[in-house]
Amino acid sequence: MFKTLFKRPAILARYREGPLLDAREQFLKQCAMQGYSRSMLHKIAWVLLSLANCIDIDHGNMTAHDIELAVDSRLRFVHSPKCTQNSQGSRQLFIHIATEWVRSLGCLKPPPAVEMPFVNQIAAFARYLREERGLSPITIATRCERLAWFFESLHPHEDALHTVTITDVDAFITAKGNQGWKRSSLSSLASSLRSFFRYAEGQGWCDIGIAAVIQSPRLYTREGLPEGPTWVDVQRLLISTRGDRSVDVRDHAILMLLAVYGFRRGEVAHLKLDDLDWVGERIMVARPKQRRIQCYPLVPAVGEAILRYLREVRPHCAYRALFLALAAPIRPLSASSITAIVRTRLRSIGVDLSHQGAHCLRHACACHLLASGFTLKQIGDHLGHRSANSTLTYTKIDLAGLRQVAQIDLRRLL
């Protein structure tokens, strides 16, 4: 690796004569595989050389404090690059590189675990939801996260569930409402708490009756409107990403999947290279709520966008995820990254919505299908809805259909 980076014999000899040669070279190879530029690899090699005399990997389990001490006592070379100047920013760069290096060697001691209240009860509840209720991992993680928030809010932390009262639950829900949570979110929160305390009552962990009196805000069936950009704005959004920049090519393929198929952000983030059947011209997506794989015909425009991304932009790496970060370190895009891409792109064309995440393109897709004459059953199947009730909300925005209903002469029915 050093022979690839450094051509001058004197410089090459300096790096190869330093301590921990094999460990430094192995880490540089890992960084190169993650897509770091040549100039950044030079900086990393310099940082590793300056720290090699201070890092003690023989005893293993180095703490974050040990790494900071090593950085502060590092060798300072006379002809150092800009990144090694004695500044706070450079110190943080040294700490970051040293931490990743020590972690790659398996010598980084994890920080002490924070004692979470009722962690065993939450873990048992998660097993119950997974093994007996068969809920999806995302639903289980969301409910457990909300429980952790609730138990952390108890002051002082209660040491037994028998001491938790309905007053504590009501205070927590009220506090979240004061923080700006919507009624739908508060209702979901109350449902999560109600589910846990119902399970806890069955286990004998708490007093009987708490679950039955947990109240949530009243929700009305299909009271809200699905908000998304107009199809004209969706077309403008897709046109805005038809550039030759790498980020435009990648984002265009992502936006096409969201708008044409109405995929959820997590479904796009979890797409793998193996999910594309180029011979059969199909794309397969995992539907977590339906717990099955759904197959779609690969629309030519979408296929061309993905194919251009694969040929021209996607980094060469061992990841099987379809969409990757373009800047080092190379890694699969997360669901939150998909949302950030949509939000940034919508703002760039001046579309102002109260919800600018990836889900608004799913709403736009459904509205476009409805306006094109597709039935609710067809739209629900396309979106992967488990229940027809999930699709009924779009009837409220079918203005053409509502006008036809308004024109019916009801006197003929009398």
Domain ranges, ordered by start, for the chain: 2-104, 119-213, 231-402
Active site residue 385: yes
| Mean pLDDT confidence for 218-243 | 83
Task: Return the axis-axis angle of helices 359-371 and 376-383, rounded to nearest 10°.
Answer: 150
- Say yes or no to pLDDT of 197 above 90: yes
Active site residue 289: yes
Share of the chain above pLDDT 70, in %: 86
Residues written for the chain: 414
Instruction: State how far Cα 43 lies from the chain centre.
Output: 30
Mean pLDDT of the chain: 84
Active site residue 96: no
pLDDT band at 114 (very low <50, low <70, confident <90, very high): low
Q: Are 254 and 244 in contact (CB under 8 A)?
A: no
Model pLDDT, residue 199? 95
For residues 394 and 94, which has the higher predicted lDDT (pLDDT)? 94
Model pLDDT, residue 414? 55
> 231-402: same fold as 119-213?
no
pLDDT in tens, 243-277: 899 999 999 999 999 999 999 899 999 999 999 99
Residue 216: which of 268, 173, 278 has the closest Cα?
A: 173
119-213: CATH topology: DNA polymerase; domain 1 (1.10.150)
pLDDT in tens, 41-82: 888 888 888 888 888 776 667 888 888 888 888 766 554 555
Catalytic member of 74, 362, 363, 368: 362
- Say yes or no to pLDDT of 152 above 60: yes
Catalytic member of 143, 264, 265, 368: 264
| Mean pLDDT confidence for 277-297 | 87
Q: How far is CA 35 from CA 15, 296, 315, in A?
A: 22, 33, 8
Active site residue 362: yes
Catalytic member of 265, 359, 363, 368: 359
Model pLDDT, residue 58? 65
Model pLDDT, residue 338? 94
DSSP summary character for residue 272:
B
| Mean pLDDT confidence for 321-342 | 92
For residues 399 and 34, which has the higher predicted lDDT (pLDDT)? 34
Active site residue 264: yes
CB within 8 Å of 351: residues ≥ 6 apart: 229, 233, 237
pTM of the model: 0.75
Amino acid letter for position 374: F
Model pLDDT, residue 413? 57
* Segment holding 344, helix H or strand E: helix 335-348
Q: How far is CA 402 from CA 388, 406, 408, 413, in A?
A: 19, 6, 10, 19
Catalytic member of 222, 289, 331, 343: 289
| Mean pLDDT confidence for 352-377 | 86
Active site residue 292: no
Model pLDDT, residue 74? 77
For residues 280 and 412, which has the higher predicted lDDT (pLDDT)? 280
For residues 279 and 406, which has the higher predicted lDDT (pLDDT)? 279
| Mean pLDDT confidence for 384-400 | 68
231-402: CATH topology: hpI Integrase; Chain A (1.10.443)
Catalytic member of 36, 261, 309, 394: 394
Model pLDDT, residue 372? 85
Least confident of 230-244, 285-299, 310-324, 329-343: 285-299
- Say yes or no to pLDDT of 84 above 50: no
Model pLDDT, residue 37? 83
Model pLDDT, residue 104? 86
